[in-house]
Amino acid sequence: YLEYMTRTNIPLYIKYDVGDMVKERPWVTLQDEPLYGIIINIDRAAYKTTDWIPYQDDRLYVLWFEWRSIEMLPSVFVEIVSKIN
């Protein structure tokens, strides 16, 4: 993902807020279309010492509209659709 982020000029860290609407990044999507959801909780800097994220990242709790379920994932796995602020 680091190569993808660098190649597409996407910032490595984006600070999300509870209430932001997000969608899955293209390299995470398992279906033909990405999932869309809303962030309901955030653990700031939850990923500090992982080998696969070269910087500290937030853990997001996303309520996916299609699945009607909550998933916890690093913020690097989603992109912003609409900011709450």
Is residue 7 very low, low, confident or very high in pLDDT (cuts 50, 70, 90)? low
Q: Is pLDDT of 10 > 90? A: no
Predicted TM-score (pTM) of this structure: 0.82
The two tokens of residue 81 are 């659709």
- Give pLDDT, residue 64: 97
Q: Give the pLDDT confidence score for residue 1 in this predicted structure.
A: 47
pLDDT single digits (tens) 28-81: 888 889 999 999 999 998 888 777 666 788 999 999 999 999 999 999 899 999
Residues ≥6 apart with Cβ < 8 Å to 75: 13, 14, 16, 57, 58, 59, 60
Q: Euclidean distance between the first and final Cα of the chain, in Å?
A: 28
The pLDDT score that the predictor gives to residue 6 is 52
